[in-house]
Structure 1
Amino acid sequence: MCTSVMYKNAKGKWFLARTMDFSFELGGRPVVIPRNFHFESDAQTTGFDTKLGFTGAGRDLNGYILVDGVNEVGLGAATLYFDGLAKFADQTDENKTNLAPHEVVNWILGNVSSVADLKTKISDVNIVAVANDLFKMVVPLHWIVADKSGACVVLEQDENGMKVMDDPVKVMTNSPDFQWHLKNLNNYVQLKPTSHSSKSYGDFESDAYGLGSGALGLPGDYTSVSRFVRAAFIRENTEKADTEAGSINALTHILNSVEIPKGVKADNEGGCDYSQYRGYMSLDEGAYYMQPYDDQTITRVVLTPELLNASKPSEYPLQNTQQFNSVN
């Protein structure tokens, strides 16, 4: 079902990261889409064009579909499940760019330079209720978008239309809606990284056993509600790293807190959500890091001039031998 967070390191550099939690095997891998690329579309016969090059996790399904990534000017985006609440248009609009829900990340990364730019352009997009060929259904999605200035928004389209909401917490999970998650944080104002002081009950003095009592009440289950609270608390209090590698390492530990192991989140039909991979987007560096479930090795893909100006997309198998294998 997925969790996404932003992270700012000690040098002021911003990162966007996510877990991809799903039961259906997605088979994603690092992909680079070059500049000035034309995408075919399930929503309109003319497709749509992109200007900016970008890299992220995707797959060629008679055309590349990316579910997260970062572009050459430092904008990152990720798509997450929004079950029960997402509502898209019933028909196309000839005056707008028509997109299927699963095509939105491609359009954003290929055409948007910042969160401010997104706010001006999103009204020109019409998201149409078109089924995805892989799932044979209209995938209910919402999106988190961030840039290297630290600006961050959540996009949610429901029965009342598109909402573009600033994300002050810089965390996103799944349903309920984003505003509900923000209000729910009011139930956790007691959380802190330091221990609570002792408390008197009559003549009895109660004290915590060791450190960590400040996090008493932090939810530990795998619902989107609990993952949102847990990610917000841990992200807020994780130490700031000095280096790029240290920042990715810090993010791996933040996402450890919300990663879903195989078997612990099963449905009644025999399926099982689990964290198929983690994606880390270095917004200043223009690099994408992918860490699969079965092998914790991290594959790094950097946007170079050769890749950005290539004549076709580039696709890379996941590395599996040494951490931080790099594809330049």
Structure 2
Amino acid sequence: MKTLSVLLSLLLAVPAYPCTRILWDGKNQDVIVGRNMDWAEDTGSNLWLLPRGMEREGMAASNSAKWTSKYGSVILSMYDVGTADGLNEKGLTANLLYLSESHFGSRDQAVPGLSVSMWAQYFLDNFATVAEAMASLEKSPIQVLRASVPTAQGVRQGTVHLALSDKTGDSVVMEYIDGKIKIYHGKEYRFMTNSPPFDQQLKSMKQYQGFGGSKKLPGTTEAADRFVRAAFYTERLPEPKDYREAVAGVLSVLRNVSQPFGTPDPARPYISTTRWRTVADLTRGLYFYESTLSPYLVWVEMPKLDFKKGAAVKKITLAKSYDLIGNISGKFKTTPMFRFLKPDAEGSLKAQN
């Protein structure tokens, strides 16, 4: 019993970093994607404008993936060491969420390597649609490599999964489980939270009313419960009169599955709080951001931004910028590009993955 008690205390002491992502596809061809970022501390996120023509490499020690950005994007950084969320000029969006079961596997030197800090950016740079991205992965695979993220609470392994969506409503969820990538591609895969892995979330959802089961809608902040509630409320959103109502509808669901500040749970002292949320209107090229520390919703209009090759990298500082309000497309300032986080040493990947 003592051994079990110690094990449980160690498991419960692991910080929980929950997030939620939803996709709403309207009858009038509106496609809107929203996500919450729930984290145990401020993520130091900023809004970046990245033009076409940027040369990148995946930062692997050997056989690193290399590419030149085909499309410009607006992204939200995390600690300014990686891309957590973003939208490119063609209407492809990427949402990176925490998944503790992620297991990237040992390094395969035959496959070009890519730091997990660049995983979302790789797709935003290179593809206009989900189908295009999946076709490329099948023809030219990449291997995502684990990177450890420095936080105020210590170094955390970057265990995440990734969702992509495009303006046709197509969607894909990608997870690395037991060293193998699992891909769930189709318009039906519109929701994502955290643990357990995606296939188990889909199975669990069938227990509840509205999805074939008899259980009542769950109400806790656990990832499996948020998954069900996100799906339930998104599927019941009324058809909006205009894009404002469409965005408001998605925001209403995101707020329903948000994590309150200081959730009172003695068994899980490291439960996370919703820090910010984004909404991407893929149809119109609008990218919204809302901090839970500010009463104001801000946004940028992608068609009005300069993504041409050779244009400057620009940034809007979000940290403690509580006076930002409304359309902030004109507030980007030329800034040197941040450095993506390198993957962990390949020896440690083999030992710990």
Give the TM-score, by structure 1 length: 0.83
Q: Which residue identity lines up with residue 107 of structure 2 in the other structure?
A: Q
Q: Which residue identity lines up with residue 127 of structure 2 in the other structure?
A: V
Equivalent residue number for residue 20 of structure 2: 3
Equivalent residue number for residue 191 of structure 2: 171
Task: Summarize the alignment of residues 1-328 of structure 1 with structure 2, pairs less than 5 Å apart.
Answer: 1-39=18-56, 41-44=58-61, 48-49=66-67, 50-59=69-78, 61=80, 65-83=82-100, 85-91=101-107, 93-96=109-112, 98-123=113-138, 124-134=141-151, 136-159=155-178, 161-167=180-186, 168-190=188-210, 217-264=216-263, 270-304=269-303, 306-309=305-308, 311-318=311-318, 320-321=322-323, 324-328=326-330
Q: How many equivalent residue pairs?
A: 302
CA distance in 1, matches of 2:88, 2:111: 26
Deviation readout 1:228-263 (Å, 9 max, x if unpaired): 000000000011223222221111111111011111
Q: Which residue identity lines up with residue 104 of structure 1 in the other structure?
A: W
CA distance in 1, matches of 2:95, 2:265: 24
Equivalent residue number for residue 346 of structure 2: none
Q: Which residue identity lines up with residue 189 of structure 1 in the other structure?
A: Q
CA apart distance, 1:285: 1.9
CA apart distance, 1:82: 0.8
CA distance in 2, matches of 1:263, 1:279: 22
CA apart distance, 1:306: 4.7
Q: Tell me, which stretches of 5 or more residues in structure 1 are unaligned?
A: 193-214
Change (3 A) 1:232 1:59: closer
CA distance in 1, matches of 2:244, 2:323: 17
User: What SS does the corresponding residue of 1:116 show, helix, strand or coil?
Assistant: helix
Change (3 A) 1:314 1:73: same
Q: Which residue identity lines up with residue 327 of structure 1 in the other structure?
A: S
Change (3 A) 1:322 1:42: closer
User: What SS does the corresponding residue of 1:26 show, helix, strand or coil?
Assistant: coil
Give the TM-score, by structure 2 length: 0.78
CA apart distance, 1:101: 1.7
User: What SS does the corresponding residue of 2:306 show, helix, strand or coil?
Assistant: helix
CA distance in 1, matches of 2:208, 2:265: 27
Q: Tell me, which stretches of 5 or more residues in structure 2 are unaligned?
A: 1-17, 331-353
Matched-pair contact (CA < 8 Å) for 2:87–2:94: yes
CA distance in 2, matches of 1:190, 1:94: 46
